[in-house]
Amino acid sequence: MKSRLMLALASVHFFTLVHAGEVTVAVAANFTAPMQKIAQAFEQDTGHKAQVALGATGKFYAQIKNGAPFAVLLAADDETPARLEKEGVAVAGTRFTYATGRLALWSKQPNLVDDKGEVLRSPNLDKLGIHKIAMADPKLAPYGAAAMEVIHRLGVQARVTPKLVQGESIGQTYQFVSTENAQLGFVALSQISFDGRIAQGSAWVVPQDLHTPLKQDAVLLNAGKDNAAAHALLKYLQADKAKSIIRQYGYAL
């Protein structure tokens, strides 16, 4: 009986391996940490492998339009997937919101950032040792566009703008602050927290009414239309295990 059970399990495992596939996914840089965990769980649970490319949503848009063979896009906004769908580059009816992101003002220095972001209103940032403030390029990254909205809503552009340095993506922006080449930076909450705890330094979680909601949509691209692993990944992102991982990094669903 035991040998029959082992044989049956081995057969199932062999079947999974034979039918396992691979999907190339373009993933917004803010979603790096949760996607790494999801990709690992996805492979363990389905046998399919996700090859992940990380970067700025705007840059991915240009690459996809120029024929880059991505099968799935996980964008940092909802506009880019909708645009690709409208332009016939993505498969109609496959788009959905997989997460809603949060923006945070962060410093690696403890106590530099207060819980209301009043540091941005300081009349003399230099006296506080703040010489550079990082943000993602608003033309390429939705989190950068959101950061620019916050700066204007707070009315601090006159004192903040001369100190701004832009990263190509939110990933590069995080690097500027984590290496302290910038003393402050607008980053994704998911980059600096886990289970509601800020990993290090000090941060202000920006209220969502200060910027356009960071709804992040996923979509199946034409290159993945006949790819079983691509379809499986989109389904997996909507399942409970993936949702649990996404919530751990501060995203809303």
pLDDT for 8 equals 43
Q: C-alpha 78: how far from its chain's center? A: 12
Using the predicted structure, report yes or no on whether residue 44 has a pLDDT greater than 90: yes
pLDDT for 37 equals 97
- What is the reported pTM? 0.85
Using the predicted structure, report yes or no on whether residue 179 has a pLDDT greater than 90: yes
In this predicted structure, which of 19-23, 72-76, 130-134, 144-148 has the lowest mean pLDDT?
A: 19-23
* Nearest alpha-carbon partner for 126 in 152, 162, 165, 177: 162
Name the residue with tokens 């090859």: 51
Extract the tokens encoding 56: 């700025």
Assign 3-class secondary structure to 210-242: HCCCEEEEEEEEHHHCCCHHHHHHHHHHCCHHH
**Angle ∠(243,207,84) on CA atoms, nearest 5:** 55
pLDDT for 195 equals 86
- How sure is the predictor about 199, in pLDDT bands with cuts at 50, 70 and 90? confident
First-to-last CA distance in the chain?
Answer: 45
Looking at residues 41-67, what average pLDDT do you find?
97
pLDDT for 26 equals 98
Give the H or E element holding residue 148: helix 142-154
How do residues 183-197 score in pLDDT, each as one tens digit? 999 999 999 998 889
How do residues 99-111 score in pLDDT, each as one tens digit? 999 999 999 999 9
Q: Decide if 49 contacts 22 (C-beta within 8 A).
A: yes
Domains of the chain (ranges, CATH numbers)? 2-100+214-248 (3.40.190.10), 103-205 (3.40.190.10)
What's the rounded Cα separation, in Å, for the pair 246 and 25?
A: 17
- How sure is the predictor about 9, in pLDDT bands with cuts at 50, 70 and 90? very low
How do residues 222-248 score in pLDDT, each as one tens digit? 999 999 999 999 999 999 999 999 999
- How sure is the predictor about 19, in pLDDT bands with cuts at 50, 70 and 90? low
